[in-house]
Structure 1
Amino acid sequence: KANKDARGNPRDGIPFHPYYTVHDLFGLSVFLTIFCAVLFFAPTFGGYFLEHNNFIPANPLKTPPHIAPVWYFTPFYSMLRATTSTSVHIWMAVASVAGLWRAWSLRRHPLRLAVLAAGMAFLLWALATVDAKFWGVVVMGGAVISLFFLPWLDHSAVKSIRYRPKWHLSVLLVFALAFVVLGYFGIEEPSPTGYWISVTCTFIYFGFIWLMPWWSRLGEPRPVPERLVYHPH
């Protein structure tokens, strides 16, 4: 607002009409086109929008060979299925490495180091003794809850992806691809190949989120224009 022309209009601003009006109408028309295409030509969408099992006559003497949730739950369902005793051992190894790395950074703080050691011992004991099905539920729920912490986990100096290092976009695309792959294997029947791919994508998912305080600070961001810099009053 400080950068205005002789008429008092912001130099960096544009009128709402017709620019934003046309912009919103275009988005609305695209949505209605896709909506009507699904509604009139593919209401079931191959069993993704309306599940295929809903059209199978009920048979109390036969259990369906494969039961999958609705498509928007399949990534988290895939994480649930990928959490077995084998993957729990991998989680234990990852937790041990993370604990040792943190212990090295706290080597000059004996009290904090003792608390960390006690916490790691309890965590490893719980992972080793509690059934993997329980940890599958924890992983599935944690995958959803973790998303709520993203605003506080992002420690980048700039917020817009436009001014961040280019490889930040690559990291985001890998995360998105892993999420889509998890969704695909959540629909498919279990298989050894699908299991290991799901395990890998699960670690990519959590690694992207919980390592964000570290990797989001790496790289040199591009200069942000002054008009986009927020100055608190």
Structure 2
Amino acid sequence: MVWWWWIIPAVVGLLGLVLMVKGLGALFRGKVFGGLLGGVGGAGFMALAATAALLALDVQTYSRLTYERPVATITTRQLGPQYFEATVIQAGQGENLPAATNLYPLHGDEWRIEAQVLKWKPWANVLGLDTQYRLDRLSGRYQSIQQEINAERSVHPLTVTNTDNGLPWQISTWDTARKYRKYVDAVDTLYGGAAYMPMADGARYEVWITQSGLIARPVNDAARNASAGGWTEVN
């Protein structure tokens, strides 16, 4: 939240309230001109505060609904025809789960990352709850449907566990959301989401979680070239 967007309207509104109270006091004492001036000035400040508060609400709503955070960085190195090595750096999840780096062999033309996603309703996002995720698996993907059916496949688990208790790091959040959903219906949906991008030698991508799910972005020339020219018609 951008707190100063709320502090300014609060200060202006308080000033307006003080002026209005003083103006009413002046009217009761028979000071008509001073009372009207204070009342009008106070009302003006309060109207200005209300306008600023509405603007702050719009800014916060936009900021919260468009908020996103990094999930992983994926770099691919070509080892052979339709065969790559993917270096996956998962973002840290607090002190107990620092960033983790692993290498995975992948067959195919594209990498695909999947996650279980807990999506909150928009009003819950605005109040400060962010979409939760639990990475599930990384796999290779062929552009050709026939190869996808018949060629060699590769899939690897990505779930990060808390080494202190052996449980997925977000299990308490997920269980709490399920348990209390009937009392406070803040959960929009629990679903499986995925993102995939073409593989190329030296290509690097960043995977982000938005309030709606996973997205992937190329972050170097090799990845940008692959994502711009590497998508061909599926056959």
User: What interval of TM-score do these two structures reach, taking the shorter chain for normalisation?
Assistant: under 0.3
| Greater relative CO (CA pairs within 8 A, separation 6+) | 1
The structure whose residues are more often helix, as a share, is 1
Normalising by structure 1, we get a TM-score of 0.20
